[in-house]
Amino acid sequence: MRVSRSLWKYADCEGAPIISAEGVYLCHFDPTFPLEMGFEIHDSRHLVRMNRHDSFEVIYVYDGRGFVQVRQRRFPISKGDLVVVGPNVYHQIVCHPGTKLKLHFLHFQSGILRGSASGEEEQYLAPFFCQDANFPNVVSLSSGLPDQVLEVMAKIYEELPASTDTARLAVRTYLRVLLLLLLRYYSQHVGTQKALEHRQQEVKRLDSLFRFIDQDYGQTIRTATAARLCAMSKAQFMKFFKRVTGQSFHTYLKHLRVAMAQALLTGGDKSIAEISILLGFCSQSHFGTTFTGIVGMPPHLYRRSFGKTRESNDGNELMVTRHDDRRPETEQGRRHPTGGLKAEPTSPTPPIFIGR
């Protein structure tokens, strides 16, 4: 499957965070047809923090090498591999230093399978429901399955945007074929929706903590306080939080605050000192050190490179940055993965820790 250069985009959303405080990736599905496809580039400057979503996801590794972390486990990935991620599973995709990962992804919600016979929908989705601590989320190229799945993904993409009844029927049909391929491959691992319900209950135990973080992220939040909000002992909480999210509570909070700082630096006029205080850092120096350690550049340089002042005065000039050619080319827009035209601003794409 050959992909036009203009379809690839970096793993962010033009500077607007789309991962909430509780680490939920906010998908923007068409409620009448909840399916999205796209082509993303991940590199060391466009990292994506741990996140989860309530949708089902299939990712084909188009090029590059790295790993996918699913909760506390890491799976190496390389060109031609397939990644399968179920709902409410914390995960993160990271490329090797100095390299790029190019990913072709498919997101969908179960509602798109409406019209299936009674019980058939759950059977199609069984590989996503049973993702426990032993589930192999990565399917190797050598198995032959990724190429089969990619072929079906290409057929689905050709039908997008599915603006007619016939196109929507075609997408649903191809999607069922794709899910049947996965079901046969994972036949020894399939479970039931009970596994998903158990995972949702685990995440729900952290609800009170996430609400507290969302309201008071600028305050010092000690582990003992977090444990008390979840009605656990400190030791129990630390183990539980890392098992559910894949990160320690301290690391999770640090990455959340840095992501919020990036949004403030690129989209507002607060000083760096004000931002460090607002986000609960003990000093501007500590903020700078933490920010640089995660993003790879200090806050002032990040703002200078990706802030509003970098925007072009000519709103009609648009840029497409090629992944293998540093020379920009101008055009009136690019084809969005869902079929429309999406404009790109002339300012460089900031490495926001968001996205999928």
Q: Which CATH number goes with the domain that contains 293? A: 1.10.10.60
pLDDT score recorded for residue 134? 84
pLDDT in tens, 33-88: 999 999 999 987 777 888 999 899 999 999 999 999 998 899 999 999 999 999 98
Considering the domain architecture, whether residues 20 and 140 belong to the same structural domain is answered as yes
Q: Token digits for 208?
A: 């009170």
Q: How far apart are CA 29 and CA 161, in angstroms?
A: 12
Cβ(49)–Cβ(256) below 8 Å: yes
Considering the domain architecture, whether residues 155 and 258 belong to the same structural domain is answered as no
Note the Cα 81 to chain centre separation in Å: 18
Considering the domain architecture, whether residues 71 and 148 belong to the same structural domain is answered as yes
pLDDT score recorded for residue 63? 96
Considering the domain architecture, whether residues 49 and 189 belong to the same structural domain is answered as yes
How crowded is residue 219: how many other Cβ atoms within 10 Å of its Cβ?
11
- pLDDT at residue 311 above 60? no
pTM of the complete model beyond 0.75: no
Full residue range of the structural domain in which residue 153 is found = 5-196
The pair phi, psi for residue 14, each rounded to 5°, is 55, 40
Considering the domain architecture, whether residues 171 and 309 belong to the same structural domain is answered as no
Residue 221 lies in a domain: no
pLDDT score recorded for residue 118? 53
Q: Token digits for 260?
A: 């919020």
Q: DSSP per residue over 107-157, as a string?
A: EE-GGGGTTPPTTHHHHHTHHHHT--TT---EE-GGGSHHHHHHHHHHHHH
Residue written as tokens 């200078």?
Answer: 304
Considering the domain architecture, whether residues 192 and 261 belong to the same structural domain is answered as no
Residue 349 lies in a domain: no
Considering the domain architecture, whether residues 150 and 59 belong to the same structural domain is answered as yes
- pLDDT at residue 191 above 60? no
The candidate with the shortest Cα–Cα distance to 25, out of 2, 41, 8, 48, is 48
Residue 143 lies in a domain: yes
Residue 189: burial class (beta carbons within 10 Å; 0-12, 13-18, 19+): middle
What is the tally of structural domains in the chain? 2
In terms of average pLDDT, the best of 18-32, 47-61, 164-178, 207-221 is 164-178
**CA-based radius of gyration for the chain:** 21
Q: What CATH number did the domain enclosing 11 receive?
A: 2.60.120.280
pLDDT in tens, 234-273: 999 999 998 888 789 998 888 888 888 888 888 778 999 9
